Amino acid sequence: MELRQLEYFCNVGIFENFTRAAQNLHVSQPSITKAIKALEAELQLTLIDRTQKKISLTAEGKAFLKFAQKIMQDVEEAKQSMQQFKIRKENTIKFGLPPMFEAYLFPDFFIKFQAAYPKIELDIQEFGDSVEICQKLKDGTLDFGILITPANIKRNLSIKLLSDRYSLCLPKNHKLAKRDKVSFDDLKNEKFILQQSGTYQHRKICEYCAKCGYSPNILLCTSQLKTIKQLVTNEAGISLLPNFVLNTETDFCRKDISPSMNFDVLLAWGKSKVLPNNYNKFIDFVKSSFN
């Protein structure tokens, strides 16, 4: 039993005329006749009484018509429902963010974007590592991602949103708080409060410490920047955080670190010969938001 057969039978049942049913479906009359005969053969029942000049449904045909119409109605509802899924999928942008960006730069951007493009949905996912975001972009899991990379590293399929650097965060009464600039050599005996391993911050700090001949004494690793800041304020340890998350901080000291930890924030996307229109709208909006 095929949907095409049911569709033809429903039309014949409504019009009680093969010619009008064929005209309504834009098919030939023999096609309808053949399909319904095949349906009757499968059911081993006569659905249409052809003995009179004007055709009519048999009792079995009338009973079967109710089932056929319900099936066709369900099929149409299923098509419409799947179309809505397709529309939502086409109007959804999957966006990967590192924790720092999501907490400090994204909320204001999100509100403005939703106001400008209410029909485009942002599916936000948090990732600690730019390497993981790159992989998700490559395999198509993400459409866009924010990458935190060393300064002036060129990457295809991306635009630079901002350049920034890390500052050393110290308790106000710390012995190094009076210095204008502090080096990684000076931090050998300090307790570090960092983000999780794999993040740009954690990786780069361990790298700089290694160049000075030691491994950082890590008190705690956490994804919560508020926790890091509070622990520094409470004199539990030190940390290094990007300036864009420190603009309003007054509870602890900020110092320049040597060598400087400069970085760029990039908007990156997956490989595509032609970007969908929604993607271009998103890129243009992000560029305008950071200019």
Q: Where are the domains of the chain?
A: 3-89, 90-154+267-290, 163-263
Domains 3-89 and 90-154+267-290 share a fold: no
Instruction: Take residue 97 and report the two structure tokens written for it.
Output: 């963010």
Contact partners, residue 127, CB within 8 Å, separation at least 6: 96, 97, 98, 133, 136, 145
* Sign of the dihedral through C-alpha 59, 61, 67, 72: negative
* Sign of the dihedral through C-alpha 195, 96, 140, 285: negative
Which CATH number fits the domain 90-154+267-290, given the four candidates 3.20.20.140, 3.30.70.260, 1.10.132.20, 3.40.190.10?
3.40.190.10
3-state SS of 183-244?
Answer: EHHHHCCCEEEECCCCCHHHHHHHHHHHHCCCCCEEEEECCCHHHHHHHHHCCCCEEEEEHH
pLDDT band for position 84 (cuts 50, 70, 90): low
Residue entry with tokens 């098509």: 79
Q: Span 52-79, mean pLDDT?
A: 86
| C-beta separation of 260 from 137 below 8 A | no
**pLDDT value for 273:** 46
pLDDT band for position 44 (cuts 50, 70, 90): very high
Determine the Cα–Cα distance for residues 105 and 98; give it in Å rounded to an integer: 11
Determine the Cα–Cα distance for residues 28 and 23; give it in Å rounded to an integer: 8
Whole-model pTM? 0.64
pLDDT band for position 108 (cuts 50, 70, 90): confident
> Cβ-count burial of 33 within 10 angstroms (0-12 exposed, 13-18 middle, 19+ buried)?
middle
Beta bridge partner(s), residue 191:
217
Q: Are strands 92-97 and 121-126 parallel, antiparallel or unpaired?
A: parallel
pLDDT band for position 81 (cuts 50, 70, 90): low
CATH numeric code, 3-89: 1.10.10.10
pLDDT digits (tens, 9 = 90+) for 202-219: 999 999 999 999 999 999
For the domain made up of 163-263, the CATH class stated in words is alpha beta
**pLDDT value for 122:** 84
Share of residues in the chain with pLDDT > 70 (%): 93
Asked which of 40-54, 110-124, 202-216, 263-277 is least confident by mean pLDDT, the reply is: 263-277
Residue of higher predicted confidence among 15 and 218: 218
Assess whether pLDDT exceeds 70 at residue 64: yes
Of 233, 217, 222, 173, which is closest to residue 196 (Cα–Cα)? 222
Of 196, 197, 177, 181, which is closest to residue 238 (Cα–Cα)? 177
Q: Span 123-146, mean pLDDT?
A: 85
Assess whether pLDDT exceeds 80 at residue 89: no
Contact partners, residue 255, CB within 8 Å, separation at least 6: 167, 168, 170, 176, 177, 179, 180, 181, 182
Q: Are strands 262-269 and 158-170 parallel, antiparallel or unpaired?
A: antiparallel
Assess whether pLDDT exceeds 70 at residue 93: yes
